[in-house]
Amino acid sequence: MKLILMAMFILLGCNLNSNKKISEVTVLKDNISNVNDSIDNVLTKVNGIDTIVLKESYNKVDIEYNDYLKENLKLVRVNFKRINSISNKNWKSIIQKDYNISSEGGVVSYYSNEKLEKITVRNFAETNQKLTEYYLLDDKLSFVFEKWIDYEYPIYDETFSESENEIVEQRSYFIKSKLVHQVNNQNCGSPFASDYLKEEEKRIIYEFSTLIKYKNSN
């Protein structure tokens, strides 16, 4: 747990070199407690200001904004609840790698028992912070939960403050590798246009596929 928390602080405090050799840590279930509990109240200093790290889902039930596709999405929601209720000590392995796609660094975590079931990605930048959770069902992408904060000022600006910035949450639901529904807490659950969903499907599947390849890279 100390290793994981230390990584969080380092990522916020320094700009990682993109040419740096990939570091990988396999966390054994007997050596850690639940990291989702441990980061819930983590505060770190950004320009001398307390900043909350976005929370991973733990023991959460998906929000049903309306009855649209309720029955169709039942398995997706049940699977989301099942996976996010697994404490870290009950995973067979958790593999972490540096993931430097933003200015202040990032980390990707792969959660597996008999097979890969969840991927989380944290990215920190000068003007935002983002957490993305990918959930698999029958070895296929099932649910994606994206959370981010956009800062009004860069973190190096003396007027930086995160207190008034709203956390945006976006949920994407997949059935047989197809994006069938997406909800954003900024639009009160209103359905998106089909053309927009197609573009979002391409984006999310590309990002997910990149993470799968990255897991298998040296």
Nearest to 83 by CA among 122, 48, 118: 118
119 vs 50, which has greater pLDDT?
119
Q: Can you give the pLDDT at residue 68? A: 74
The full set of domain ranges for the chain reads: 2-215
Least confident of 50-64, 93-107, 108-122, 150-164: 150-164
Residue 14 reports pLDDT greater than 70: no
Q: Can you give the pLDDT at residue 13? A: 39
Q: What pLDDT, in 10s, does the model give residues 18-39?
A: 333 333 344 333 333 334 433 3
Residue-by-residue DSSP string for the chain: -HHHHHHHHHHHHS---TTSPPPEEEEEGGG---HHHHHTT-EEEETTEEEEPPPPP-S-PPP--SSTTTTTTHHHHHHHHHHHT--GGGSSEEEEEE---STT-EEEEEEESSSEEEEEEEEE-SSEEEEEEEEEETTEEEEEEEEEEE-SS-TTSTT---TTPPPEEEEEEEETTEEEEEEETTTTTPPPPHHHHHHHHHHHHHHHHHHHHHHT--
Q: Can you give the pLDDT at residue 188? A: 63
Task: Determine what percent of the chain is predicted with pLDDT higher than 90.
Answer: 48
Report how far Cα 138 is from the mean position of its chain's Cα atoms. Answer: 20
Q: Can you give the pLDDT at residue 85? A: 97
Residue 134 reports pLDDT greater than 90: yes
Q: What pLDDT, in 10s, does the model give residues 150-193?
A: 776 666 555 555 555 778 999 999 999 999 999 998 876 567 78
- The chain-wide mean pLDDT, for the chain, equals 76
Nearest to 22 by CA among 103, 98, 100: 98
Q: Can you give the pLDDT at residue 88? A: 92
Contacts of 192 (CB under 8 A, 6+ apart): 182, 200
